[in-house]
Structure 1
Amino acid sequence: MRNRTLLNGFIFISTIFIVNSSFAETVSLEYNGFYDRLKQVNKQNYPLVELAFSVPITPDCTIVSGSITTEKEQFPLTYTKQQRLFIPYDPQLKSDRGLVNINVVGDAAQCGIAMQVRAKETKQSFTQTELLALTNDMNKLLDGLQGFPMKYFRKPINGLTFEFAEIQADGKTIKVVIDDVESMANEKFTLTLEQITQLKNISFTHKPSVVSPFVSQ
């Protein structure tokens, strides 16, 4: 059984089944679900944005290893310390009914896969034109993921969120400059669409690690 929830660009997908072992628990998901979403991105032209899959970091869900398997083959699963998963776009894996297997320490029942729309590249400064182009691509991609007719019930993006979680972990402060006006940011800094349409430039003392959609509740 699957459950999906969309929140600020994240779609959370519950695990399909869980296998217990003495040292860790394995969360296994059908590759087909990843492929269908990656196909939507690959068949359209979204030059500025991408889909990122990850396992949200919690005390009960820490990745220790992973693999992609079929009945005949096994491949390593690439992931980062932030638990972002790099899932290949491969029609053969779909045809072979591949599985994405994630070995975690903790309570695997608390684990889930998050799918986020985000900017392909981040920078220390953006113009208004660049920010509007980002929101446009994000809206188009989210519409495609929702599918017809659900895209007409999706809330449009209300702005952009800039994340500095990795930088904050190092104890660094973030200064934000919007058209020569300075302010400070914590782990996240949000610009509403109204603010974007009123600014000319925005810059940060450190490059954000993630730029993602902001959707008001």
Structure 2
Amino acid sequence: MQSRHELRQLIRQRRQQLSTQQQQQAAEQLAERFTALPFLADCQHIALYLSNDAELDTWPLIHALWQLGKQLYLPLLHPVTPGHLIFQHFHANTPMRANRFGIPEPDWSCPDLCPVAQLDLICTPLVAFDASGNRLGMGGGFYDRTLANAPLRSRDGQPRVIGLAHACQQVPAVPVEEWDVPLPAICTPTQIFLP
């Protein structure tokens, strides 16, 4: 089995090799598949992220969810608890800035913050995944730490956390560490995984 570092490099290269047309088509297909999820009707407050490093483009999904009247939230690096994320309301006119990794995030606004427990659905990025819901992130552990004590499913068993990825990011098995938080659902442009 490949090391986590080697797997991360391989899959990042794989998604970076997708053409602009393939990226655009995948993003549109993801928006269609995601908005057809049966449990989406019960989700009003949804956390997403802005794509980086050839991740699946979330903008078509963001626009589709706004059209459905959903309230969207983006992650920010937690200013007090290092290594954790917080989520802030995101709309078309939200002022943005680059965080220390160069990733756009909303300008800090305390009244617009939403506790993790009040989010109906959290969409996470990932580098690689397997059919069992194991997720390999970029290596910082931000989502793992943020979600470690959060319920991953609602009371009725519906996913509260879902990973988003290109189909080419699926691998036979992700090497798992004790701190990894497996996902109850993963959505690609071509398939929904509900391990």
Q: Above 0.5 in TM-score?
A: no
Q: Which protein shows a greater Rg? A: 1
- Which protein is richer in helix relative to its size? 2
Give the TM-score taking structure 1 as reference length.
0.26
- Taking structure 2 as the reference length, what is the TM-score of the superposition? 0.28
